[in-house]
Amino acid sequence: MRAKTPTSSTRVGRSFTTYAHNELGELVAGKADLDALLALSPANAQALNERGYYYQREKNWQAAAADFKQAAEYSQWIEDPATQQNLHAAAQRGLGFTLIERGRWQEAEAIYQKLLQENPQDARARNELEYIRQQREKHPPL
């Protein structure tokens, strides 16, 4: 008996199932779908980003950061420039948010500033930089 190789339709099916679970608020099932998808395609930057967001919801900052770092790395392999830029930016924004939640404002700020250099229209990066500024005003260093 031959082993089955996952097809692109299998991966697409997993992506739709994951999306449906997420939209329905079924986080455990959605994360399980992402784990299965990543077992089939471990360098899938989009799936890594999505799983990073699941980890953020769980406040598992270390796991989220690891997935976002991998997604940023793997996104560089994508041939389509627009897709590559979108997935890389999503990974960087996810990592930046994770750093903010861990109180690592300087590292997060550097990520968001770089995102603005790459795309001056990135309103999300601009908003996060404003949030960091506000937090620093509220909580000045001792």
- Closest Cα to residue 52, out of 66, 42, 39, 35? 66
- The pair of structure tokens assigned to 105 is 């404002």
pLDDT at 28: 80
pLDDT at 11: 45
Query: Which of helix, strand or coil describes residue 5?
Result: coil
Contacts of 32 (CB under 8 A, 6+ apart): none
- The pair of structure tokens assigned to 44 is 């899938």
What backbone torsions phi and psi does residue 141 show, to the nearest 5 degrees?
-65, 150
Burial 79-94 (b: 16+ CB within 10 A, else e): eeeeeeebbbbbbbbb
Q: What is the pLDDT along the chain (142 residues), one digit of tens a residue?
A: 433 334 444 444 555 566 666 666 667 887 898 899 899 999 999 999 999 999 999 999 999 999 999 999 999 999 999 999 999 999 999 999 999 999 999 999 999 999 999 999 999 999 999 999 999 998 877 6
pLDDT at 92: 97
What backbone torsions phi and psi does residue 76 show, to the nearest 5 degrees?
-65, -15
